[in-house]
Structure 1
Amino acid sequence: MTGDPPGTPQTRPGLVRSLVERFGHLVRELSKFATVGGLAFLVDFALFNYLASGRGMPPVAAKTISTVIAATLAFLGNRFWTWRHRQRSHPAREYALFFFFNGVGLGIAVGCLAVSRYGLGAVWPSVFQTPLADNIASFIVGTGLGTLFRFWSYRRFVFVEAGTPAVPAPGHDPGSGA
């Protein structure tokens, strides 16, 4: 006897199995989403640094262009791999919503970059107006926050789950068989 009261998680052998059954699909979706996002991140990172450093483009413009291109690749990967099992709606609807939510995610990343470069950089230019600071603000902070938002919004609004029950009509009793 371990001293644990009966029914504690340590004495329930089916707890892990229950959790896997309940959240396994979410873990699989999150893994695929992370893979697609990781590839898009690499494209975004490389293109941003090429445009900002190699071509001398202003950092905010470079970030905007790199994110739009990476988002297009992410849409294709998520539509045809991450959430391929989900109900398909009109492609134009999915694409428009995907890019709308990517626009919000872009706003989060660009906002983090702008706060770092122009807000904090006005106070400490030698620290916050550097390529390293731009990359940290944009790719670590901005992309991290934007990724959380994107996963939630894509899953909730863009790639909807097949068979999601409709809201019953007022006065309808689901158990009545009518």
Structure 2
Amino acid sequence: MRGSAVRWLRAAGPELTGFAVVGLCAYAADLGLFVWLRGPVGLDPLTAKALSFVAGCTVAYTGNALGTYRRAPHGLSRLRQYGIFFAVNVAGALVQLLCLAVSHYGLGLTSRRADTISGAGIGMALATILRFWGTRTLVFRSRSALAPTG
């Protein structure tokens, strides 16, 4: 089991690296736009976050489509791919919110530190795993993602 996991990590290394770099760029776009929309533009926080989330998803989709998964088979139209990609990212955001809600309201861990750890730490880690899986198997249908392991 351990050997197969190591082989998978070696084989998926470039894909993981590309996904991570694209994710960091998307995060920067999301954060930068959110700060700008909240500050100089003066939008309310929910509108600003909704717009910055869509922008971050668009940056992530574009980076993955033109970079990380550029050699993936194109079984779906770009618009359909983007729709599925957006849905996967919404699911990731819901995972982060669920982690925060369970920690804050379910477990009673209400400090700023606990909220940060549960939402931006644990939630982000779980959401990233979901996004990686969803992106490679549902959006770009990587041959390696569909191949049986063992």
Normalising by structure 2, report the TM-score. 0.70
More displaced 10-residue stretch of structure 1: 63-72 or 47-56: 47-56
Shift in Å, 1:106: 2.0
Q: Give the one of 67, 73, 80 matched to 1:87.
A: 73
Distance 1:137 1:65 in 2: 24
Corresponding residue for 1:101? Answer: 88
Could you tell me how far apart the structure 1 residues matched to 2:38 and 2:94 are? Answer: 18
- Return the offset for 1:42: 1.6
Question: How far apart in 2 are the matches of 1:73 and 1:152?
Answer: 18
Listed as ranges, the gaps of 5+ residues in structure 1 are 1-14, 166-178
Q: Percent identity?
A: 30
Aligned pairs for 1:6-155 (under 5 A) are 23-51=9-37, 55=42, 57-58=44-45, 61-89=47-75, 90-112=77-99, 115=101, 119=105, 124=110, 127-128=111-112, 138-155=119-136
SS in 1 for 2:87: helix
- Segments of 5+ residues of structure 2 without an aligned counterpart are none
Specify the alignment match of 1:172 in structure 2.
Answer: none
1:146-176: CA deviations, max 9, x gaps? 11100011111110135968xxxxxxxxxxx
For residues 53 and 117 of structure 1, the distance between their equivalents in structure 2, rounded to whole angstroms, comes to 30
**Normalising by structure 1, what TM-score?**
0.60
- Higher alpha-carbon Rg: 1
Q: Which has the higher helix share?
A: 2
Cα-Cα RMSD: 3.5
Count of residue pairs the alignment pairs up = 139
Whether the 8 Å contact between 1:87 and 1:160 is mirrored in structure 2 is yes
